[in-house]
Amino acid sequence: MRRIVILISGRGSNMRAIIRAAQNEEWPAQIAAVISNKADASGLAYAAEHGIPALVVANKDYPSREAFDAALQSKIDSFVPDLVVLAGFMRVLTTPFVAHYAGRMLNIHPSLLPSFVGLATHRQALAAGVKLHGATVHFVTAELDHGPIVAQAAVPVEADDTEATLAARVLEQEHIIYPRAIRWFVDGRLSVQDGMVRISQEA
């Protein structure tokens, strides 16, 4: 069984989609823990209800980014994960933290990377007038919202879209591509060469 630790900051809808897929598809993997940097993250209750250890490591309790990341790392590592999944985890991570999980940490970003890094991606997309927008699952590297791309999904941008309607359309796709990408990792189908992800055929 592969062991997965999921990091969240809030609602945790991607986390729910991952927990659901792991159960329904009977992944050879266990969600070993869900950790939030915010005590009021609503996703924590869902994890706990599903018998998954749900913990808080609150960044506000630490004097620096380095101190927080060190505490978070030791909490994550106490669950001995094969994979760390960032699911709406709203923190910029330090380089040593990212290096420690090189090749075994995934993130989902709500844009078609490399377009629209950072925050307010749906607003950025509307302002740019793009006709397609979407989401990207990628391995985490030191540069924010960069890193080898595992999966993407595109959605149309409609003339009357608001940030909220566009976000909802993208989120629906996030809930499909993130569990799928994690499943590929669990099944040992992902490899990275020269910054590119290869997905091997199903065994």
Binding interface with ligand GRF (CB under 6 A): 8, 10-14, 87-88, 108-110, 135, 171, 174
Indicate the residue among 69 and 174 with the shorter CB distance to ligand GRF.
Answer: 174
Residues 121 and 109: their CA atoms lie apart, in Å, by 9
Indicate the residue among 50 and 70 with the shorter CB distance to ligand GRF.
Answer: 50
In the complex, minimum distance from the CB of residue 42 to ligand GRF, in angstroms, rounded to a whole number: 9
Residues 84 and 100: their CA atoms lie apart, in Å, by 11
Q: Verify whether residue 109 is a known catalytic residue.
A: yes
Indicate the residue among 34 and 87 with the shorter CB distance to ligand GRF.
Answer: 87
- Concatenated DSSP letters of 41-109: -THHHHHHHTT--EEE--GGGSSSHHHHHHHHHHHHHTT--SEEEESS---PPPHHHHHHTTTSEEEEE
125 membership: H or E segment, kind and range: helix 121-128
Residue of this chain nearest to ligand GRF (CB atom): 88
Q: From the candidates 109, 122, 138, 175, which is the catalytic residue? A: 109
In the complex, minimum distance from the CB of residue 202 to ligand GRF, in angstroms, rounded to a whole number: 26
Point out the residues that are catalytic: 109
